[in-house]
Amino acid sequence: MVGSKEGYQLHAFFFPLMAQGHLIPAIAMARLFSSRGVKVTIVTTPLNARLFSHTIDGDKQLGLDISVQLIQFPSEEAGLPQGCENVSSSHNFFDVAPKFFTALDLLQQPFENLLQQYLPEFVVADMFFPWVTDVAAKFGIPNLIFHGTSFFSLCVSDSLRRYNPHENIKSETDRFVLPGLPDQIELMRSNLPDLQKIPSELGKYFKRVDELEGRSYGVLVNSFYELEPGYADHYKKIMGRKAWHIGPVSLRNRDITDKEQRHSCLSWLDSRKPNSVIYVCFGSMVPFTAEQLLEIAMGLEDSGQPFIWVLRLKGEEAEQRSRMLDGFEERIEGRGLIIRDWAPQVMILDHPAVGGFVTHCGWNSTMESVSAGVAMITWPIFADQFHNEKLVTQVLKAGVSVGAHYFQEVVGEKGVVKREDIKKAVQQLMISGEEAEQLRSRATELKEMARKAFEGGSSYADLTALIEELRLNPRPEV
């Protein structure tokens, strides 16, 4: 396999993290590579495979060379309950995070055995498998890292590590400037996780991730150049990292969004006026205090706007917290809709009745909103979400902040966002006025840019360049 092979079919291993926020874009990315002629094997565990096997079967029927290879998840060996194979398996992931990361490390040997057996031309592995780079290097196989976030967030994280601007800030709510970035971006200490402020085992794990990035073949980013050009350039030229922007990968999923089973909420949306409905969803991971849920409910009710609220309560507190909303659903009947299970988010955002999105600023949700041309109300909670909020509100100018300031594991534990602020943000975005029109107009511009980039533009070209580079130089030294 040495030397140029013009028509040779590349074989790629995709190894996504077992978490919805990473799994969904990684599978979309795997399907994207497959649609461009690459043979793709997705490595995952049995329970996670069930989440997307229907989609992969559909691709196979269309003639794509894509398959799933199963490995067992070492739940019990890591001290986790049997069947805990996904971040969302636990009521509160932060309670089991150290054990979950131990389980991820225990996957090293079975993954290495598969690599040795199949010898793919390259691997795309999630950032939470930092050992993959060294394991793949044993066989001369290049490893591409997938972070699941934006160029902007990667640049912000680098500034925090490089300059430690938060170290001398005494108050949690004092602002500080992030040095070395294309724009003047400010954060608060309260926006940062404890592991960035206090030494911990989890902090050491993330340090391993950072150190290995520079030794990998490069980084795949679910973004497009026109969205964040200053930060794509900063990442590649100033930070000196090799990267390819190939998104928004959610556009690859628009052909399979379960259109066979039309969700009842879509019929509800059909009866609404264009741009009149606010969609509210905070992802699948974080629990809320009863007090915070009540404030959200009252804020939405007081706003006077039609809304869809995806409210997935988990754990023992679910019933108690539901009782906090007694009478709410009766009062908002006809104007509001609560979805207590899975919701077809891409299809909801694409619906012409939806005019705004209250989001936790997870990168998938942000990109899906951009791709649909929907302006956002930003409510970050943890991870990279405070970074993404700054991108949306300050750089892209496609959203307004609800005023959430605390990185937290249970929403409302450290700082409750009040109903008045929720009502204000919803009305600011949804009620006609100069600011609302500017936000809508900007969101529409970004939607057009996203589609052009993905359908033959910058993202299409970057993916083409990467595939050709790997084809012409199979198994380069890492």
Task: Give the phi and the psi of residue 362 in degrees, each rounded to 5.
Answer: -60, 145
Question: What is the CATH number that goes with domain 261-451?
Answer: 3.40.50.2000
CA pair distance 333, 30, nearest whole angstrom = 41
Task: Provide the CB-side half-sphere exposure for 200 (13 A, CA).
Answer: 11
Q: Taking a C-beta distance cutoff of 8 angstroms, is the pair 359, 290 a contact? A: no
What is the CATH architecture of 11-254+453-472? 3-Layer(aba) Sandwich (3.40)
Q: What's the pTM? A: 0.93
Tens digits of pLDDT across the chain (478 residues): 344 455 679 999 999 999 988 999 999 999 999 999 999 999 999 999 999 999 999 999 999 999 999 999 999 999 999 889 998 776 667 778 889 989 999 999 999 999 999 999 999 999 999 999 999 999 999 999 999 999 999 999 999 999 999 998 989 999 999 999 999 999 999 999 887 887 776 677 777 777 777 789 999 999 999 999 999 999 999 999 999 999 999 998 765 544 445 688 999 999 999 999 999 999 877 788 889 999 999 999 999 999 999 998 765 556 666 676 778 989 999 999 999 888 999 999 999 999 999 999 999 999 999 999 999 999 999 989 999 999 999 999 999 999 999 999 888 899 999 999 999 999 999 997 899 999 999 999 999 999 999 999 999 999 999 999 999 875 544 3
Residue 213 burial (C-beta neighbours within 10 Å; 0-12, 13-18, 19+): buried
Query: Are domains 11-254+453-472 and 261-451 of this chain identical in fold?
Result: yes
Cα 265–86–129 angle (5° rounding)?
A: 125
Task: Provide the CB-side half-sphere exposure for 457 (13 A, CA).
Answer: 16
Provide the angle, in degrees to the nearest 10, between the axes of the packed helices 419-430 and 434-454: 70
CA pair distance 211, 194, nearest whole angstrom = 20
Residues with a catalytic annotation lie at 22, 126
Give residue limits of the domains in the chain.
11-254+453-472, 261-451
Q: Taking a C-beta distance cutoff of 8 angstroms, is the pair 407, 188 a contact? A: no
- DSSP letters of 95-134? HHHHHHHHHHHHTHHHHHHHHHHH--SEEEEETT-TTHHH
